[in-house]
Amino acid sequence: MGRNKFSEREIATIRKMLARKMAGTRYQQKMVRHELRTKFEFNISDFGTAGEAFGPEQLDECLQRGRIRILDEDTIRAMKLKRARLRMQFREATDNDAYFIAEGFHMAMHMKHSAEEIADFAGKICTRDDVLYCARNTLVCEYNGEMAGMLTAYDGSGYRAMKERTMQLVKEYYGIEFPRMDDEAASGEYYIDSLAVWPQYRGIGMGRALLERGIAEGLRLGLSVTLAVDPKNTRAQSLYASLGFERDGDLFIFGANYWKMVLRKKENA
């Protein structure tokens, strides 16, 4: 069962797609049906009669009879986010997820490398359990059974040893060093290191959902939850602020300046 509530903008697009379906070949009709299901969760079978055509006229009839309703954009967005959350499943990463972790780290750092380079990073670093970017520090989000997002976070009490081992491997295998790099985390902190959502799954609240789980884990451990953000990334800053983070100093990491942000304590906490 798909949706029966849409915004006016969505209905206008659906009407055009139905007109295209009515004028298309059998293959084109099939593709339009697929696009309606995947983009709008609009299943013709929910409203039409088997064996009968369903086009713009039938859509308007469903609107007049109240079988399909038009709601405002904000309500539709909230509804879509709620439905999307129901499709998200979260699990701890395993050693088999090393490539996914490596790819997510490169994505979070806006580093562009080939699949072969990412696989090499995964095999040499992410398969270990004594480095920053490893399975035991990572939470995976699956969407409709597909791996779609990840969050790497950890207790800062073990940060220094993991950092030294990670940077040693990076230098050994890739000849890269980051002099004067600040410590991102410290004892008493739960540090949210890397957050990545694959492009096709963005805009459905997955990043927020992953962060909420990271925050919950940090609070469960009784630690101060912290993270770093690019000063130019205003979109990420807004997301973090909406979750309760505020700026608390600066960090020089990976050769660039970042803001350190900390989850502010609630007054009644």
Residues 102 and 211 in one domain: yes
Closest CA to 122 of 155, 141, 96: 96
Residues 109 and 234 in one domain: yes
Residues 31 and 93 in one domain: no
- Measure CA of the first residue to CA of the last residue in the chain; give whole Å: 42
Residues 221 and 164 in one domain: yes
Residues 74 and 105 in one domain: no
Would you say 247 and 261 are in contact if contact means Cβ atoms under 8 Å apart? Answer: yes
Residues 97 and 230 in one domain: yes
Annotate the chain with three-state secondary structure: CCCCEECHHHHHHHHHHHHHHHHCCHHHHHHHHHHHHHHHCCCHHHCCCCCCCCCHHHHHHHHHHCCCEECCHHHHHHHHHHHHHHCEEEEECCHHHHHHHHHHHHHHCCCCCCHHHHHHHHHHHHCCCCCCCCHHHEEEEEECCEEEEEEEEEEHHHHHHHHHHHHHHHHHHHCCCCCCCCCCCCCCEEEEEEEEECHHHCCCCHHHHHHHHHHHHHHHCCCEEEEEECCCCHHHHHHHHHCCEEEEEEEEECCEEEEEEEECCCCCC
110: pLDDT strictly greater than 90:
no
pLDDT at 111: 84
269: pLDDT strictly greater than 70:
no
How many domains are there within the chain? Answer: 2
Residues 124 and 75 in one domain: no
Overall average pLDDT of the 131-158 stretch: 96
Give 266's pLDDT tier (boundaries 50, 70, 90): low
Residues 97 and 192 in one domain: yes
- The answer to whether residue 17 is domain-embedded is yes
- The answer to whether residue 178 is domain-embedded is yes
- The answer to whether residue 226 is domain-embedded is yes
Residues 183 and 95 in one domain: yes
Query: Tens of pLDDT along 8-63?
Result: 999 999 999 999 999 999 999 999 999 999 889 999 999 988 889 999 999 999 99
Strand partners, 23: none
CATH number at residue 117: 3.40.630.30
Would you say 67 and 47 are in contact if contact means Cβ atoms under 8 Å apart? Answer: yes
Residues 96 and 79 in one domain: no
Q: Which residue has the higher pLDDT, 39 or 186?
A: 186
Burial 40-53 (b: 16+ CB within 10 A, else e): bebebeebeeeeee
- The answer to whether residue 61 is domain-embedded is yes
Q: Which residue has the higher pLDDT, 155 or 39?
A: 155
> pLDDT over 90 for what percent of the chain?
88
The boundaries of the domain holding residue 195 are 87-263
Domain closes at, from 84, 116, 147: 84
- The answer to whether residue 268 is domain-embedded is no
Backbone angles phi, psi at 165, to 5 degrees: -70, -40
What lies within 8 Å, CB to CB, of 202 at 6+ separation is: none
Residues 226 and 255 in one domain: yes
What lies within 8 Å, CB to CB, of 15 at 6+ separation is: 56, 59, 60
- The answer to whether residue 108 is domain-embedded is yes
The pTM assigned to this predicted structure is 0.82
Would you say 40 and 16 are in contact if contact means Cβ atoms under 8 Å apart? Answer: no
